[in-house]
Amino acid sequence: MTKGKSPIMTQMEKVFRHTRANSFGTRARYESSCKNFIDFLNENFKMKNLRNLQDKHVVAFIVYRQSAGIAPKTIKNDLGAIRYMHDLIPDVKHELSDNESLKQNFSVSLDKTPAVKGNRAWTQGEYDSLKKIAQEVWSKGGKGAITAKDVQEVMILCQSMGLRITEAVAMTRSQAEQALRTGIYQVKGEGKNGKWRQVPLSKSGKIVLEKRIREISRGGRLFVKENEKTHAAVNRMEKFLYNNREKVVTKVGVELRTWNKDGETYTNELTFHGLRYGYVQKRIQEEINKGFSIEQAAEKVTKEVGHERTDVIKVYLGQRK
């Protein structure tokens, strides 16, 4: 990323500096959401002028946020902030669609999800089976082989280090090299809400990084192909999982991810975010086995996965808040 502020970040800040619409608190929340959006645009579209903003950029951001496991309510708040900003930009070239039009025209889902989401973790058998399928596709070569290889290694990073898929996919060679030197992986602006955090480098993660950096030139990303956007790389890996998950789902896994609320039964699908659930559950149990209480274990693990509140850990454990 280039040094200093991007042109569109400067434009966004000017918009918020001069507006007096809504309360100070609301403007501050909107500006925070828009900064994440601007960073995304700069990283993935190299946009120079916010007057060129259009629906395709918003849709790509929605997909990116969803792949990171961001709640629909938060994404809707982001969209409200983006439209607020857009309304204040003079001489825009395109109108932005409302949520309903985005759903109809781009097939994006913004539906409300139940407050209690249940367990999303994979069984070891499901994890091993998808890695085996990916290895077979990679070994055969041809269409989809590169994605299959990426899927195998991103799965390892998500499962063994608790990374979100976007955090793993966006990893740069310099981040990988630093992790191999220090034993600590530094999540940077690619983290949720741009929050930085440090994660211990796992043994299996170390093997992945050692192999990958030999294949990537300096300044490159480990899982993003040349001239490819980060969100596009995430999307192709998500699609691989979507196309193959029914082949690996087990009865035990379905029972694990099935839960009830208000008389309704829900079953969570296999997602990359579910590997993060498994990481949290394993780490909590490791700390409990050392003699710590679940509260003490949660205090430690919550920092590893980039949250501020220990009660969030209950979500990853499949418990009610």
Q: What is the CATH number of the domain that holds 98?
A: 1.10.150.130
Does some domain include residue 111?
Answer: no
Q: What is the pLDDT of residue 191?
A: 58
* pLDDT tens per residue across all 321 residues of the chain: 445 789 999 999 999 988 877 767 788 889 988 999 999 998 899 899 999 999 999 999 998 888 777 878 889 999 999 999 999 999 999 999 988 888 888 877 776 544 447 899 999 999 999 999 999 999 999 889 999 999 999 999 999 999 999 899 999 999 999 999 999 999 886 656 567 888 999 999 999 999 999 999 888 999 998 888 888 888 899 999 999 999 999 999 999 999 887 788 888 889 999 999 999 999 999 989 999 888 888 888 888 787 766 777 777 887 533
- Find the domain containing 94 and state its range: 7-106
Residues 15 and 164 in one domain: no
Residues 147 and 292 in one domain: yes
Residues 252 and 291 in one domain: yes
Most distant CA atoms of the chain, gap in Å: 62
Does some domain include residue 271?
Answer: yes
Is residue 145 within 8 A of residue 137, CB to CB? The reply is yes
As given in the structure block, the two tokens for residue 30 are 């909107």
Q: What is the pLDDT of residue 321?
A: 38
Q: What is the pLDDT of residue 317?
A: 83
Does some domain include residue 139?
Answer: yes
Tally of domains in the chain = 2
Compute how many other C-beta atoms are within 10 angstroms of the C-beta atom of residue 92. Answer: 16
Residues 151 and 98 in one domain: no
Does some domain include residue 113?
Answer: no
Does some domain include residue 267?
Answer: yes
Residues 42 and 136 in one domain: no
Last residue within a domain, chosen from 73, 106, 139: 106
Does some domain include residue 112?
Answer: no
Residues 156 and 32 in one domain: no
Q: What is the CATH number of the domain that holds 162?
A: 1.10.443.10
User: Could you tell me which of 109, 102, 224 has the C-alpha nearest to residue 166?
Assistant: 224
Does some domain include residue 189?
Answer: yes
Residues 40 and 173 in one domain: no
For strands 258-261 and 197-200, give the pairing.
Answer: unpaired
Q: What is the pLDDT of residue 34?
A: 93
Does some domain include residue 46?
Answer: yes
Last residue within a domain, chosen from 54, 77, 106: 106
Residues 223 and 278 in one domain: yes
**DSSP, res 54:** -
Give the global pTM: 0.66
